[in-house]
């Protein structure tokens, strides 16, 4: 006899949302389910960066936090599929505590995720962070609910004013998947930064990501990025005004077309 959850997944009305979610690489991989707009614009690079959504990306970035912050993020990989997130950071004496609550799905299937992370500065050049994600897949109005627990750990090392290194490890215990990311950032011309990373995931080919960010007067930043798995081109814009930040990004993914990203955050 087919169990109720499996029977429901075989129903035609459920197969369509499962199909669409399977095409999108983010929601089904746990880590980086909701790329921040600037991360998306920089080709998916994140191991040497710190953003208002660091709790769900590289937890070591929380160690460099200088302010409290609250932010909203939204992207739309498909016309029927939207991904929204609420992120918060609270500064502590040596680092910060961060959380990201996100939800995505279409009619018939919903994926919800909550990250709780902490990062701290171990020295003026080194920071480390640890995060835990609780996520679930559910069918609204049906007796199907599948929770999962994932863990992540990251390190960032600032070698000099120009060079920064980072590494990140995340596990998805329910599927025994492991993702190892490593990369570097190089600053030049006092206003430009080049990011380069590789991501190794269990049972998959190595993914390479590169991004270039050019800042103007510390208020406006232009970004470009590229990634090979899947082949992705991206661009973005970040505007800072007083304590507010507005992020806009656009990705073109070879397997499923264009994806817009928008985010707004406030720091104090």
Q: Is 207 helix (H, G, I), strand (E, B) or coil?
A: strand
**Residue 216: CATH number of its domain:** 2.40.160.40
pLDDT of residue 139: 77
pLDDT of residue 23: 46
pLDDT of residue 128: 98
pLDDT tens digits, one per residue of 108-150: 778 889 999 999 999 999 999 999 999 887 876 665 667 788 8
Locate 106 and state its tokens.
Answer: 């279409």
Q: Which long-range contacts (CB under 8 A, 24 or more apart) does 225-230 make?
A: 225/40, 225/41, 225/42, 225/43, 225/44, 225/45, 225/195, 226/43, 227/43, 227/44, 229/204, 229/205, 230/25, 230/254, 230/255
Question: Which residues lie closer than 8 Å to 29 by C-beta, 6 or more apart?
Answer: 172, 179, 201
Could you tell me the residue range of the domain that residue 82 belongs to?
Answer: 4-267
User: Is it the case that residue 93 has pLDDT exceeding 80?
Assistant: yes
Please report the beta strands in 16-68, taking only residues with DSSP state E, as ranges in sequence order. none
How many domains in the chain?
Answer: 1
CA 173 to CA 169: how far, in whole Å? Answer: 13
Range 189-194 average pLDDT: 94
User: Shortest CA distance to 47 belongs to which of 163, 191, 196?
Assistant: 196
Please report the beta strands in the chain, taking only residues with DSSP state E, as ranges in sequence order. 69-78, 81-91, 95-106, 109-121, 126-138, 145-158, 163-172, 177-188, 192-201, 207-216, 220-228, 231-241, 244-253, 257-267
> Is 261 in contact with 236 (CB distance < 8 Å)?
yes
Range 215-234 average pLDDT: 94
CA 12 to CA 47: how far, in whole Å? Answer: 40
CA 106 to CA 23: how far, in whole Å? Answer: 13
Comparison of pLDDT for 34 and 231, the residue scoring more: 231
Rounded percentage of the chain residues whose pLDDT exceeds 70: 82
Cis peptide before 230 (omega within 30 of 0): yes
pLDDT of residue 7: 36
pLDDT of residue 142: 67
Question: Which residues lie closer than 8 Å to 175 by C-beta, 6 or more apart?
Answer: none
pLDDT tens digits, one per residue of 226-244: 999 899 999 999 999 999 9
pLDDT of residue 30: 41
Comparison of pLDDT for 10 and 58, the residue scoring more: 58
pTM score, two decimals? 0.85
Q: Model confidence at 173, in pLDDT bands (50, 70, 90)?
A: low
């Amino acid at each position: 006899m087919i169990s109720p959850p499996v029977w429901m997944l075989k129903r035609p009305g459920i197969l369509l949302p499962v199909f669409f979610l399977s095409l999108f690489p983010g929601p089904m991989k746990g880590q980086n389910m909701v790329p921040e707009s600037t991360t998306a614009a920089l080709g998916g690079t994140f191991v040497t960066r710190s953003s208002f959504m660091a709790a769900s990306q590289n937890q070591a970035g929380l160690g460099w936090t200088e302010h409290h912050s609250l932010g909203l993020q939204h992207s739309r990989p498909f016309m029927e599929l939207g991904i929204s997130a609420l992120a918060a950071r609270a500064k502590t004496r040596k680092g910060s505590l961060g959380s990201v609550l996100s939800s995505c799905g279409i009619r018939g299937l919903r994926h919800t995720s909550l990250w709780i992370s902490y990062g701290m500065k171990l020295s003026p050049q080194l920071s480390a962070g640890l995060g835990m994600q609780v996520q679930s897949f559910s069918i609204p109005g049906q007796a199907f609910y599948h929770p999962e627990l994932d863990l992540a750990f990251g390190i960032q090392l600032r070698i000099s004013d120009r060079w920064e290194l980072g590494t990140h490890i995340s596990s998805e215990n329910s599927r025994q998947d492991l993702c190892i990311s490593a990369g570097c950032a190089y600053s030049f011309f006092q206003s430009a930064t080049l990011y380069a990373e590789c991501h190794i995931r269990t049972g998959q080919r190595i993914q390479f990501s590169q991004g270039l960010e050019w800042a103007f007067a510390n208020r406006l930043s232009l970004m470009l990025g590229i990634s090979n798995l899947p082949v992705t081109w991206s661009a973005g814009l970040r505007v800072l005004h007083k304590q507010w930040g507005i992020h806009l990004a656009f990705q073109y993914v070879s397997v499923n077309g264009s994806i817009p990203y928008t985010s707004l955050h406030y720091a104090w």
